[in-house]
Chains A and B, each alone.
Chain A
Amino acid sequence: MNAAAKMSDLVKVGPVLSRRMMLGAGSGLVLALSLPARAADAPPKYGRDAQEQGWRDDPRIFVALAPDGTVTITCHRAEMGQGIRSSLAMVIADELGADWARVRLTQADGDEERYGNQNTDGSRSMRHWLLPMRRCGAAMRMMLEQAAAAQLGVPAAELSSGGHKVSHAKSGRSVDYGALATAAAKLAVPPRDLVKLKDDSALGMVGQEGIRSLDFAAMTTGTAQYGIDATMPGMVFAAVARPPVLGSKVVSFDASAAKAVAGVIDVIELPAPVTPPMFQPLGGVAVIARNSWAAMKARDALKIEWSASPHDSYDSVTYRARSLELARQPGEVHRSRGDTTGVLAKSAKRISAEYSAPHIAHATMEPPAAVVKCDGTSCEAIACVQAPGGTRDMLGAMLKLDKSKVTVHQTLLGGGFGRKSKPDFVAEAALLSRSLNGTPVKIVWSREDDIRHGYYHTTSVQRLEANLDSGVPTAWLHRIVSPSIVSIFADGITREQGWELEMGPINTPFAIPNLQVETGEAIAHARIGWFRSVYNIPHAFAIQSFAAELAHAAGQDQKDYLLRLIGPDRVIDPRTLGDTNGSEDPDLYPIDTKRLKGVVEAAAAGIGWGRKKKGWGYGIACHRSFLAYTAVAFAVSVDKGKLTVHRADIAIDCGAQVNLDRIRAQMEGAVMMGLSLALTGEISFKKGAVEQGSFDDYPVLRIDGAPRELAVHLVGQNLKAPPSGVGEPGLPPVAPALCNAIFAATGKRIRDLPIRDQLSKA
């Protein structure tokens, strides 16, 4: 297949379907794109309908009621800290009228034919599953009422349910759900059009305060099971030495010292991948041992000669310099409205600025880890993966096994952030187990493995230019030089792609008549992968920093100016901007400038915008991503180069708010992670290899760097609006808000991330 011919499709689908681009059968690789096929005149599919394997709302799939009344809810989405297991269970339990104390959780295996889509990314779980899960709970409640009607000999219409029982008010009788379990299980599920949801006002958990997540007890007692904790009887432990440079291969190796380490069982060479990388293991040499320690120790004793690679000369410093040169030249026009270059050419006052952001690594606290048993005829994996269905597909394709012979059990994820969407580590364990004729193999990546062999968030150099003749710009030119994620799925991808440019550049709702977005050539020399919030991170950094620079140049208050840029209240159809809206219905999720301004005002009010405290600077930024509107405001001071973050306020309008505590937790975490990336987040390459290895040279935020005060503001219409995203949208405004605050405090404008020691330099 001609990869280039598929570019338009890739541009449309983005990472949503990219996990389907899997390892193929035969000698080479097949881009098995499962694109939504439809006739030209068929109505477009959006949202949950557009997802691979779609959705289910049958309570028999997701809810089990035991005769003792225990309700066991199966979660089919990956739990990586966003709290989705409890949030989806809350939705079902609320509609069902179940007692939260009698609800238990279980995790689904990867089985999309049964559960519908399980690919947990794109902040989609609640957006796509709120309604199906409500229907599940409601249908089950109706079945219980029907069973109770028969048992009590009264019409179902006279019954009400709640508090884990069905009640008959007239006679004062009630039946516990447990006592109805057997009878209800024999009833048919009511047809979808007859399933009656509770009125929103009757919901007692969804959108309410004080609901505690069900996983906290296990997580605070050491009993929660992550991928790294998985075991299988008779398992052995693997550690892999992978090529330091992408594309490099094993030429020869000497395993004598490694084999001398006590506990070592075997040394096995893994096959080198071919291009493009997709989710293939990187190859290298594996040590198999009786415990993790022996495997890691012996791995370090391997002597390996690596081949040259086309990426040997990748150097972050020269790459950035080259990207900057390109950003200063006209690029390939991706989108243009009005006559941006013409207007700019005639303008008397033009402002431009250049921004850069480095690679970053996910550094999930739990590194990639899995246990896999594969004897060549079947494969069973236990793993911390974001997409158990896609992992199953990939294992089946790679091992040439029918899907029915592949089982993927999903554990909790000790952080995901997009890294664990890529099951290369599971594939490593599968290949090794197959080499050992079915002995289960446990693989645990070291921190160095994780930092040096990841899927890195893209680098970017961006140049923005606008005119200021009339105080606010009438022309806006945004040029971006940034490698594309699509480069891991197809060769010949040499610049940022359309779906990536939909994360800010083409759809930031500034009321500017002339807008042009251009891209420059950016060839990938590492595996580029999505990181929580994806291209929204660098784009929002550049756009929201530049908006503040314009405010300063215009001599206006930063927040007031930001609101002026957004302009009057209006609802924008994303289609008019060439924005596919992340495959969500543009009528349901248009771009609403009033909502964006609403979060700006909420964050500003929280931080006490307009207050003047000596030595403190205030900054703000906003962004729409994953259909949600977020704004962040900071109050900071800088003393002798040392930054203190006194306070952060983050506001989100995510439409329907289901689990208030977990929404707040995601916003709090987004502020911390955003600070971490802005302050110290950088992966750099020299001679093709990553220079960092652990938390000493890839530092992440610690508690002593956290804001002294932090407040979350939930804004909006709650259940009157459709749910959008929560896991990712908090992150993009953090870095620009911080840099805008630093500018206000010091007059120093940070244009290159990370900030690191720039504040102590003149």
Chain B
Amino acid sequence: MAITLKVNGKEQSYAGDPDMPLLWYLRDEAGLPGTKFGCGKALCGACTVHLDGTAVRSCQTPMSAAAGFSVTTIEGLSDHGDHPVQRAWQEVGVPQCGYCQPGQIMSAVALLASTPKPTDADIDSAMSGNICRCGTYDRIRKAIKRAAGVAA
């Protein structure tokens, strides 16, 4: 029984192992490598995507659980890389190696959708599931505030 889901607006069908995490489906099957593997245990947030707008760790979301949902990945966040959060990330110069940043951005977008004017505590709470080994945390805070239009 094939699983159907929508990925970045397109209907997709999947007939493989229903236990396969959405992460590996996106990376190995759907040709969308922007979503990153970091730990496979929902500890680092590198694999964060949106399921019907909610941020989830795709490494812990089996395909069976993604069935019927609309998935948004970093590739589908905006047509021209100009989502306000992406713009803020570029303007503040957040990325160092850049590897964790798709996950960081997806978490930040979800935060701002639910909390348009986040406080420092809101940011720390929403973003603490996303690890950045390069240590770009100070700029992540600044970029989120910039995207939200609140004073840094």
Residues of B within 8 A of A92 (CB): none
B127 at the interface (CB under 8 A from A): yes
With known contacts A219-B98, A293-B28, A700–B133 Cβ distance under 8 A: yes
**B90 to A702, Cβ gap below 8 A?**
no
Partner of A223 from the list B34, B123, B128, B138 (CB cut-off 8 Å) is B34
Does any Cβ of A come within 8 Å of B97's Cβ? yes
Contacts of A212 in B (CB 8 A): 90-91, 93
Asked if B99 and A669 make an inter-chain contact with CB atoms under 8 angstroms apart, the answer reads no
- A702-B128 in contact given A222-B73, A263-B17, A447-B40 (Cβ < 8 Å): yes
Known pairs A222-B75, A665-B93, A669-B136; A703 contacts B99 (CB<8 A) = no
Provide the residues of chain B in CB contact with A201, threshold 8 Å. none
Minimum C-beta distance from B112 to chain A (A) = 15
Chain B contacts for A364, CB-based, 8 A: 97, 99, 133
B28: A residues at CB distance < 8 A: 237, 291-293
Q: Contact at B93–A669, with CB atoms within 8 Å?
A: no
What is the distance, in angstroms, from A657's C-beta to the closest C-beta of chain B? 16
Known: A216-B93, A292-B27. A221 touches B135 (CB 8 A): no
Question: Interface digits, B29-44 against A, CB 8 Å rule (1 contact, 0 not)?
Answer: 1001111111111011
Give the chain B neighbours of A413 by CB distance below 8 A. Answer: 97
**B131, CB-defined interface residue at 8 Å:** yes
A668 touches B135 (CB 8 A): yes
Q: Name A702's contact: one of B41, B74, B131, B139 (CB within 8 Å).
A: B131
Q: Which chain A residues border B123 with CB–CB below 8 Å?
A: 703
Closest Cβ of chain B: how far from A123's Cβ, in Å? 15
Q: Chain B: which residue is nearest A230 at the CB level?
A: B33
Indicate whether B134 reaches chain A with its CB closer than 8 angstroms. Answer: yes
**Chain A residue nearest to B17 in the complex (CB):** A262
Residue among A293, A417, A701 with most chain B CB within 10 A? A293
**A residues 183-237 in Cβ contact with B at 8 Å:** 212-213, 215-226, 228-229, 237
- Complex Cα spacing A460 to B117, Å: 47
What residues of chain A lie closer than 8 Å to B40, measured between beta carbons? 296, 446-447
The answer to whether B39 and A228 touch across the interface, beta carbons within 8 angstroms, is: no
The answer to whether A707 touches B133 (Cβ under 8 A) is no
Tell whether, in the assembled complex, residue B44 and residue A293 are in contact, meaning their CB atoms are under 8 Å apart.
no
* Contact of A668 with B136 at beta-carbon distance under 8 Å, contacts A221-B74, A228-B36, A365-B131 already known: yes
> Is chain B's binding surface mostly helix, strand, loop or mixed?
loop
Among A40-48, A469-477, A495-503, A670-678, which stretch is in contact with chain B?
Answer: A670-678
Q: Which residue of A lies closest to B76 (CB)?
A: A222
CB neighbours of A676 from chain B (8 A): 135
Interface stretch among A6-14, A76-84, A114-122, A324-332? A76-84
Complex contact A673–B135 (CB within 8 A): yes
In the complex the two chains form, is A81's CB within 8 Å of B98's CB?
A: yes
Write the nearest CB–CB distance from B78 to chain A, whole angstroms.
8
Query: CB distance A365 to B100 under 8 Å?
Result: yes
User: Which residues of chain B have C-beta atoms less than 8 A from A79's C-beta?
Assistant: 97
Report if B105 contacts A (CB, 8 A): yes
| B residues in contact with A245, CB < 8 Å | none
A700 to B39, CA, bound (A): 13
Within the complex, the shortest CB–CB distance from B132 to chain A, in Å, comes to 7
With an 8 A cutoff between CB atoms, is A363 at the interface? yes
Does the CB pair B43–A217 fall under 8 Å?
Answer: no
- Per-residue 0/1 for A431-470: is the Cβ within 8 Å of any B Cβ (1 yes, 0 no)? 0000000000000101100000000000000000000000
Q: Which of A216, A671, A672, A700 contacts B95 (CB 8 A)?
A: A216
Which of A354-381 touch B at CB < 8 Å? 363-367
A237 to B29, CA, bound (A): 12
Interface bits B66-102 vs A (CB < 8 Å: 1, else 0): 0000000111011001000010011101111111111
CA distance A157 to B139 in the complex (A): 46
Cross-interface CB contact of B38 among A219, A220, A365, cutoff 8 Å:
A365
Contact A415–B136 (Cβ < 8 Å): no
Q: Which of A229, A291, A696 contacts B43 (CB 8 A)?
A: A696
Determine the distance from Cα of A367 to Cα of B97 in the docked complex, in whole angstroms.
13
Instruction: Return the chain A residue nearest B98 by Cβ.
Output: A219
Distance A124 CA – B101 CA, assembled complex (angstroms): 26
Indicate if the CB atoms of B135 and A365 lie closer than 8 Å: no
What A residues does B98 contact at CB under 8 A?
A: 81, 215-216, 218-220, 224, 412, 414
Q: Smallest Cβ distance from B90 to chain A, in angstroms? A: 4
Chain A positions within 8 Å of B93 at CB level: 212-213, 216, 661, 665
Q: Which of B33, B94, B99, B105 contacts A365 (CB 8 A)?
A: B99
Asked if B141 CB lies within 8 Å of chain A CBs, one says yes
Please, which residues of chain B bring their CB within 8 A of the CB of A414? 36, 97-100
Chain A residue nearest in CB terms to B28? A291
How close is A270's CB to chain B, nearest CB, in angstroms? 22
Q: Taking the complex as formed, is A267 at the interface, i.e. its CB lies under 8 A from any CB of chain B?
A: no
Q: Are B128 and A81 in contact (CB under 8 A)?
A: no
A583 sits at the interface (CB 8 A): no
6 contacts between A and B (CB under 8 A): A222-B34, A222-B35, A447-B39, A703-B128, A704-B124, A706-B138
List 13 additional A-B contacts (Cβ < 8 Å) besides A262-B16, A263-B16, A668-B135.
A218-B98, A219-B95, A220-B105, A221-B81, A222-B75, A262-B17, A365-B132, A366-B36, A669-B96, A670-B135, A673-B135, A706-B135, A706-B141
User: Which 8 A-B pairs give the minimum distances between C-beta atoms?
Assistant: A222-B34, A672-B135, A414-B99, A219-B98, A81-B97, A81-B96, A222-B74, A669-B135
